[in-house]
Amino acid sequence: MRQVRSGDADIFYEVFGSGPPVVLLHPFPANHEFWLPVVGALTSRYRIVLPDLRGHGDSQVGEGPATMAKHAADLARVLDQEEIRRAVLAGVSIGGYVLFEFWRTSAERVAGLVFCDTKAQADTAEGRASRLEAATQVLERGTDSYFESLLPKLLGESTRETRPDLVEGALRMMQKMSPEDVAMVQRGMAERRDSVEVLGTIRVPALVLTGVEDLLTGVGDAQLIQQRIAGSQMKVVAKAGHYSPWEQPQEVGKILRQFVDGVSNLE
């Protein structure tokens, strides 16, 4: 893996293929391996950059909460090191939250956006309290039971019933995070700003994707994003939950390839 120093953390990432750049951001609590089943649909024409977000995979969490501002700065450092001026950027769940912040700070570096299984709204008071409680509990009790409890929320019913290999693979990715990683990432997500008003400022090609079985964000949240971004597209992925690219990589890979092929001025 390649490595770059960003603030107080070492950020790791993989690069595949060559051509115009496409950056894919994974969800919590996964890592860059989440996107590996999809990469083959894109590498014949594009250079694919797969970071481990701060606190995930091999990337360090640094000091204090892993805020969206820190994640966005990390993303900029990766692009700088790879000498990427503009790219198509896709993000799942927390990856989408990072893209909203990156758009605020670095819109000139964005050629296109894909928001996948994510939402623009900030956490409710209840949602924020739940994240902070989870952060406290993993520090006290470890991550094993916490990760097990996440699986039914992250993976669709179809996947859990028919693809035990994908369930095991998801759990394996999660287990690379330490209790401190989980706690600091959750605290950072709890602090994130509401991005609904940002949607109307997006003036690049945009695609919104969601799994039809996504229990955490889902069709309603995807529709809100799509309706507020002028000219954006929306696709619903069958037999998939919150981890739709992991659950249906061939379908998502096809959708992503069609979208990226249609983005002009991609360097």
Q: DSSP letters along 139-198, please?
A: HHH-SHHHHHHHHHHHS-HHHHHH-HHHHHHHHHHHTTS-HHHHHHHHHHHHTPPP-HHH
**Ranges under pLDDT 70 in the chain:** 265, 267
Asked, for residue 200, whether it belongs to a domain, the answer is yes
Asked, for residue 197, whether it belongs to a domain, the answer is yes
Pairwise CA distance, residues 54 & 7, whole Å: 11
Asked, for residue 187, whether it belongs to a domain, the answer is yes
Number of domains in the chain: 1
Look at the block and give the residue holding tokens 């069958």.
238
Asked, for residue 267, whether it belongs to a domain, the answer is no
Distances (CA, A) of 57 to 54, 121, 258: 8, 26, 29
Segments forming the whole domain that contains residue 169: 2-261
Distances (CA, A) of 106 to 2, 51, 127: 23, 17, 28
Asked, for residue 224, whether it belongs to a domain, the answer is yes
Asked, for residue 58, whether it belongs to a domain, the answer is yes
Q: What is the pLDDT of residue 264?
A: 72
Q: What is the pLDDT of residue 267?
A: 63
Q: What is the pLDDT of residue 144?
A: 96
Asked, for residue 266, whether it belongs to a domain, the answer is no
CB contact at 8 A, 259 and 112: yes
Q: What is the pLDDT of residue 78?
A: 98
Pairwise CA distance, residues 23 & 109, whole Å: 12
Pairwise CA distance, residues 226 & 214, whole Å: 17
Asked, for residue 212, whether it belongs to a domain, the answer is yes
* CATH of residue 126: 3.40.50.1820
pTM for this one?
Answer: 0.98
The first and second tokens of residue 264, run together, are 């002009």
